[in-house]
Amino acid sequence: FLVPLMLLLVVFMGAGFLLVLFGVIPTVVAYYADTSKERLKVSTIACCNISGVLPFALELHQVGNSWSRLTAMLSDPVVWLQMYGMAAVGYALIRFCPMAYHAALRAINGSLAFQMEQRQEVLVKEWGEDIRLSGGAHNERGALVVVK
C-alpha cells in the first residue's frame, strides 16, 4: 500500500516529494522511537518538523518543482538547519514543557502553603497554641501526622 502511494506522490509532486521525504526523517525516527499507545511525542515532533519543511516545499512548488531548485535547496545548509531545527524544537518542547509545568505547580503550591501558614498563625493568635495540635501530631519536620 505504501509503495504505490509513494510512487503516486512522486508523479504528482516530483521534486517536492523528495524534499518532504528528506525533511521529515526526524518525524519517522520519532515514530519508531515512541512506543506509547497515543504517540503524542510523534505528533509534537511532526507538527514542528512539518512547519520547518513546509515553507521550502511551497517555495519549490511555486517554481514548478524544478529539480535544479531542489538540488540548490538540498545543498543549502540553512534549509537543513530549518527543517531539522524545527524538529529539534519539537524534541525540546517534549523535554522542557513538563519541567516548566512542574516548576509552575511547585510555585503555586508553595504560595498556597504560605497562605495557609499565615491563616494558621492568625488562628493560633486567636485560639492559642492548642489549636495547632488538635487535629493530630506533628513529626520532626513539622508535618501533620494524623493519629488514629
Longest dimension (CA), the chain: 85
Q: Is 9 exposed, middle or buried, given 0-12, 13-18 or 19+ CB atoms closer than 10 A?
A: middle
pLDDT at residue number 65: 84
- Which residues of the chain are under the pLDDT cut of 50? 148
Q: Give me the amino acid identity at 63.
A: V
Which residue's C-alpha cell is 514548478? Answer: 64
Q: What is the pLDDT of residue 3?
A: 75
pTM of the model: 0.69
